[in-house]
């Protein structure tokens, strides 16, 4: 798969991730800083490395599944894999300026 196509798939995945919200914080998971990495293979497989706001997050089971299903719903994506990590642990410093502004943290 050509480089531009892989980059476009990555951008499409990020757009999908911006539509998924943490149920406890009214900000999407991308702006919250929960997405650490999105990799697209030559075959159109997507690997997403993400974290949760805490290890005992109430959506620890459902949120990664939602990320996987919505990513796989993109026609260009052959397969999606979601890996959860807590290294480094999430902190409020990982939030984008947009997220901090939405939450009144400035």
Residue 23: per-residue pLDDT: 83
Q: Is residue 9 part of a domain?
A: yes
Q: Is residue 12 part of a domain?
A: yes
> Where in the sequence is the domain holding 65, given as residue range(s)?
3-91
What is d(CA 95, CA 75) in angstroms, rounded to the nearest whole number? 29
Name the stretches of the chain with pLDDT < 70. Answer: 1
Residue 58: per-residue pLDDT: 84
| Residue pLDDT, tens place only, 41-57 | 999 999 999 999 988 88
Residue 88: per-residue pLDDT: 95
Q: What is the CATH number of the domain that holds 79?
A: 3.30.300.130
Residue 25: per-residue pLDDT: 85
């Amino acid at each position: 798969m050509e480089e531009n196509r892989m980059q476009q798939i990555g951008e499409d995945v990020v757009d999908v991730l911006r539509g998924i919200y943490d149920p406890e914080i009214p900000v999407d998971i991308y702006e919250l800083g929960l997405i650490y990495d999105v990799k697209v293979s030559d075959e159109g497989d997507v690997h997403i490395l993400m974290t949760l706001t805490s290890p005992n997050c109430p959506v620890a089971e459902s949120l990664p599944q939602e990320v996987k299903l919505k990513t796989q719903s993109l026609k260009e994506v052959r397969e999606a894999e979601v890996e959860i990590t807590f290294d480094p642990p999430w902190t409020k410093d990982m939030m984008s300026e947009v997220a901090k502004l939405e939450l009144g943290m400035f």
